Structure 1
Amino acid sequence: MLVRLLCLTISLIFMASARADAASGIDQTEVTIGAFAEFVAATGFRTKAEESGGMVYEAGWVVKPDWNWRQPYGIASPPNEPAVHITFDEAMAYCDWRGQRLPNRDEWIRAGYTELRADPPASFQRGMTYVFPTGNSPNGANCLAECGTDLRPIAGKRDYSRYLDRGFGHAPAGQTKAGVNGLFDMGANVWEWAVMGKGSSQATMGGSWWYGADQMRSDYGATKPRDMAVVYIGFRCIAK
Structure 2
Amino acid sequence: MRLIHLFTLIGILALSCSPNRESQNTHSTQDRDSSKLFERNNGMVLIPAGTFFMGTDDMESYPVERPAVKREVRSFWMDETEVTNAQFSKFVEETGYVTVAERVPDWEEMKKQLPPDTPKPSDEDMQPGSMVFSPPSKAVPLHDISQWWKWIIGANWKHPEGPGSGIEGKENHPVVHIAYEDAEAYADWAGKRLPTETEWEYAAKAGRERQRYSWGNEFRPSDNFMANTFQGDFPHENLAEDGFEGTAPVKSFEPNDFGLYDMIGNVWEMTSDWYDAIKMQRIAGNAPALDSAISKCYNPHNPYALEKVIKGGSFLCADDYCINYRPSARQGQDFESGTSNIGFRCVRDLE
For the aligned pair, the TM-score class normalised by the smaller chain equals 0.7 to 0.9
CA distance in 2: counterparts of 1:229 and 1:48, whole angstroms: 9
Contact 2:197/2:271 (<8 A) preserved: yes
* CA shift in 2, pair 1:134/1:54, >3 Å: farther
Does residue 53 in structure 1 map to residue 129 in structure 2? yes
Query: Which ranges in structure 2 are unaligned for 5 or more consecutive residues?
Result: 1-39, 48-75, 104-127, 135-144, 221-225, 233-239, 275-295, 298-305
More helix, by proportion: 1
How many Å apart are 1:145 and its aligned residue?
A: 3.1
TM-score, normalised via structure 1 length: 0.74
2:155 partner amino acid: W
2:132–2:160 contact (8 Å) kept in structure 1? no
| Mapped contact 1:56–1:62 kept (Cα < 8 A) | yes
The offset of 1:137, in angstroms, is: 3.0
Deviation string 1:181-236 (CA, Å, 9 cap, x unpaired) is: 11111101100001214552001100001112620223323111101120000000
Q: CA deviation at 1:44?
A: 0.5
1:57 positional shift: 4.9
Mapped to 1, the partners of 2:219 and 2:272 lie a distance apart of 25
Name the residue aligned to 1:172.
249
Question: Partner of 1:46: helix, strand, or coil?
Answer: coil
C-alpha distance in 1, partners of 2:342/2:253? 17
Q: Does 1:106 align with 2:203?
A: no
Provide the C-alpha distance between the structure 1 equivalents of 2:41 and 2:186, rounded to a whole number of angstroms.
12
Distance in 1 of aligned mates of 2:330 and 2:84: 25
| Structure index of larger Rg | 2
TM-score by length of 2: 0.52
Identify which of 220, 228, 233 aligns with 1:142.
228
Q: In the TM superposition, what is the alpha-carbon distance from 1:153 to its structure 2 partner?
A: 6.3
Higher RCO (CA-CA < 8 Å; seq separation 6+): 2
Query: Displacement, 1:66?
Result: 2.8
SS of the residue corresponding to residue 109 of structure 1 reads: helix
Point out where structure 1 has 5 or more consecutive residues left out of the alignment.
1-15, 116-126, 158-167
In the alignment, which residue of structure 1 is the partner of 2:157?
69
Alignment partner of 2:338 out of 210, 229, 238: 229
Deviation at 1:55, TM superposition (A): 0.8
Tell me if structure 2 keeps the 8 A contact 1:203–1:221: yes
Contact 1:30 1:236 (8 Å CA) reproduced: yes
Residues 111 and 180 of structure 1 are in contact (CA less than 8 Å); yes or no, is this contact kept in structure 2? Answer: no
Which residue does the alignment assign to 1:132? 213
Cα distance 1:53–1:207, how it changes in 2: closer, same or farther (>3 A)? same
- Cross-structure match for 2:310: 204
Retained in 2: the 8 A contact 1:134–1:141?
no
- Residues of 1 paired with 2:310 and 2:268: CA distance? 6
Displacement after TM superposition at 1:73 (Å): 1.9
Alpha-carbon distance change, 153 to 131 in structure 1, aligned in 2, over 3 angstroms: closer
Provide the secondary structure at the position in 1 that maps to 2:151. Answer: strand
1:50 Cα deviation from its structure 2 partner: 2.2
Contact 2:44/2:78 (CA < 8 Å) preserved in 1? yes
C-alpha contact 2:272 2:308 (8 A) present in aligned 1? yes
In structure 1, which of residues 25, 33, 41 is the aligned counterpart of residue 77 of structure 2? 25
Amino acid corresponding to residue 69 of structure 1 in structure 2: W
Give the partner amino acid of 2:192: Q
SS at match of 1:194: strand
Counterpart Cα distance in 2 of 1:18 and 1:47 = 25
8 A Cα contact 1:84 1:229, kept in partner = yes
Q: What residue number does 2:55 align with?
A: none
Q: Find the partner of 1:38 among 90, 110, 116.
A: 90
Partners of 1:194 and 1:202 within 8 A in 2: yes
